[in-house]
């Protein structure tokens, strides 16, 4: 059953979920009937109908339930997040709770301004560091990883905060922060910013995509959407992430976006960023660029070159220095992974996928016969001591393992204890505030949530060994596919 307003001619096979079309009875029929293609909330090609086994239908059920719940609570969810952010910033601008109460009594309470450079996001309040590690400079093999992670963290902030961070703290050129349109959600839900790191010996543009914000229902819907498109000769790709990057509802992935139809009010991420990059890259033959992002941002970062490959954008592929993602979910199937590894290798592009501890996001969507999603690229896995290893796949690849539940909770306890000691063992730059300590308490129940914090990824890129960045065969890379303690 096809949706008339969505041309999927760019794909040879597809399965798309439309949770807003699901009726109550239809929802439960998913579990007891395999005639999914007859339901108007599923749009599938003929080649995918035989795949609706019970396990796949169960995963579709979970995906739809999660998305419908998120759509239902979107407004209160956003309001709660805004209140929490406001209170955290209210405490911050008034220094602490004691001063806040005193200012309130005096009638001198300072109110936070959401558009100011001093306003910090929920993610930013978990880790307030804005300075780069001065000991890791250009030429160090860790340089792009540390810069990319800080850029990924900064992407969660508002425009003024990012601009101030890039210009005043990093002494780099700020190229802009942008909101991008999602044609399927009918609003601008994708964000990214660009900076230029230029010196006598290098000229690099960094494109940083914003990840999933804790109280952003639209972004979480993209994460839980298990829709997929299969492109002939390429493989199957996660539909939610493609939509966030700029997949067009009526035309798919045309090479150019010349005539945006209403009601679009903002540009599409891939096309707008491509235009900026081509303009800047043609000015100087020595200019290169890096793609990065944390969480959902990481998924968008690795899908960007995939679309560039489809469009045969030679300049974009030649000048791509590398892709650095942190806590990135799976974006496609095994065939897509093989396609991307070959194309990235042919174009000399290095792709590093960072995973910290028990972070749940890199372990989603499931890697099994029912969902077919698989990781690819160089995975660098860090344990709670920030010891990194190049691994074939992160340990406990699908997260939900009864046998590993107790070890994961024990590890979360040790991470909480570390919050109180790391200041003494690693120095003042690694001090953890009260808000992050409270967040780590959540990890005692669900270790995968607290392990997704940007704090641990920043620490890993700074404290981890540089050996993991060296090409295979140098004799210094410790390759292991076993779990680090």
Q: What is the pLDDT along the chain (485 residues), one digit of tens a residue?
A: 334 456 677 888 888 888 877 777 777 777 776 666 666 777 777 555 445 677 777 788 888 888 888 888 989 989 999 999 999 999 999 988 898 899 888 988 999 999 999 999 999 999 999 999 999 999 999 999 999 999 999 999 999 999 999 999 999 999 999 999 998 888 899 999 999 999 988 999 999 999 988 888 888 887 778 889 999 999 999 999 999 999 998 788 998 876 677 778 789 999 999 999 999 999 999 999 999 999 999 999 999 999 999 999 999 999 999 999 999 999 999 999 999 999 999 999 999 999 999 999 999 888 877 668 999 999 999 999 999 999 989 999 988 888 888 999 999 999 999 999 999 999 999 999 999 999 999 889 988 889 999 999 999 999 999 899 877 655 443 333 333 33
Q: Alpha-carbon distance 385 to 357, whole Å?
A: 9
**What's the confidence (pLDDT) of residue 297?**
97
**What's the confidence (pLDDT) of residue 423?**
95
Please state the three-class secondary structure of the chain as a single string: CCCCCCCCCCCCEEEEECHHHCCHHHHHHHHHCCCHHHCCCEEECHHHHHHCCHHHHHHHHHHHHHHHHHHHHHHHHHHHHHHHHHHHHHHHHCCCHHHHHHHHHHCCCCCCCCCCCCCCCHHHHHCCCCCCCCCCCECECCHHHHHHHHHHHHCCCCHHHHHHHHHHHCCCEEEEEEEEEECCCCEEEEEEEEEEEEECCEEEEEEEECCCCCCCHHHHHHHHCCCEEEECCCEEEEHHHHHHHCCECCCECCCCCCCCCCCCCCCCHHHHHHHHHHHHHCCCCCCEEEEEEECHHHHHHHHHHHHHHHCCCHHHHHCEEEEEEECCCCCEEHHHHHHHHHHHHHCCCEEEEEEECCCCHHHCCCCCCCCCEECCCEEEEECCCCCEEEECCCCCCCCCCHHHHHHHHHHHHHHHHHHHHHHHHHCHHHCCCHHHHHHHHHCCCCHHHHCCCHHHHHHHHHHCCHHHHCCCCCCCCCECCCCCC
The set of catalytic residues is 295, 359, 452
**What's the confidence (pLDDT) of residue 281?**
97
- CB atoms near residue 326 (< 10 Å): 33
Q: Alpha-carbon distance 229 to 439, whole Å?
A: 36
């Amino acid at each position: 059953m096809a949706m008339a307003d969505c041309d999927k001619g760019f794909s040879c096979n597809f399965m798309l979920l439309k949770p807003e079309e699901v009726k109550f009875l239809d929802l439960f029929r998913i579990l007891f009937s395999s005639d999914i293609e007859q339901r108007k909330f599923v749009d599938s090609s003929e080649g995918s109908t035989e795949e609706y086994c019970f396990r796949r239908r169960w995963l579709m059920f979970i995906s739809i339930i999660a998305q419908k719940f998120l759509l239902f609570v979107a407004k209160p969810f956003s309001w709660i997040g805004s209140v929490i952010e406001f209170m955290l910033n209210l405490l911050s601008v008034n220094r602490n709770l004691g001063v806040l109460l005193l200012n309130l009594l005096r009638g001198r309470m300072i109110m936070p301004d959401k558009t100011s450079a001093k306003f910090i996001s929920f993610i930013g309040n978990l880790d307030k560091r804005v300075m780069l590690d001065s000991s890791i400079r250009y030429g160090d093999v860790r340089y792009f990883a540390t810069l990319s992670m800080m850029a990924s963290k900064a992407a969660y902030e508002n425009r003024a905060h990012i601009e101030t961070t890039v210009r005043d703290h990093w002494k780099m050129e700020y190229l802009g922060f942008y909101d991008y349109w999602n044609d399927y959600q009918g609003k601008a839900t994708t964000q990214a910013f660009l900076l230029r790191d230029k010196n006598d010996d290098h000229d690099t543009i960094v494109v940083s995509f914003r990840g999933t914000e804790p109280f952003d229902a639209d972004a979480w819907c993209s994460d839980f959407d298990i829709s997929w498109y299969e492109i002939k000769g390429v493989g199957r790709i996660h539909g939610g992430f493609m939509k966030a990057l700029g997949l067009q509802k009526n035309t798919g992935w045309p090479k150019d976006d010349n005539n945006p139809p209403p009601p679009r009010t903002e540009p599409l991420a891939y096309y707008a960023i491509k235009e900026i990059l081509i303009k800047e890259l043609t000015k100087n033959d020595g200019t290169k660029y890096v793609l990065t992002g944390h969480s959902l941002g990481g998924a968008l970062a690795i899908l960007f070159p995939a679309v560039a490959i489809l469009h045969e954008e030679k300049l974009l592929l030649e000048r791509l220095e590398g892709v650095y993602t942190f806590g990135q979910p799976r974006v496609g199937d095994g065939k897509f992974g093989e396609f991307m590894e070959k194309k990235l290798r042919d174009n000399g592009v290095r792709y590093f996928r960072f995973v910290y501890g028990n972070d749940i996001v890199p372990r989603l969507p499931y890697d099994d016969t029912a969902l077919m999603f698989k990781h690819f690229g160089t995975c660098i896995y860090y344990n709670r001591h920030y010891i990194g290893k190049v691994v074939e796949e992160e340990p406990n690849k699908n997260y939900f393992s009864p046998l590993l539940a107790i070890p994961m909770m024990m590890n979360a306890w040790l991470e909480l204890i570390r919050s109180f000691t790391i200041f003494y063992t690693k120095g003042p730059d690694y001090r953890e505030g009260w808000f992050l300590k409270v967040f780590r308490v959540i990890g005692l129940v669900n270790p995968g949530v607290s392990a997704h914090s940007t704090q641990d990824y920043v620490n890993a890129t700074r404290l981890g060994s540089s050996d993991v960045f060296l090409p295979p065969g140098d004799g210094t890379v410790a390759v292991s596919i076993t779990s680090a303690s």
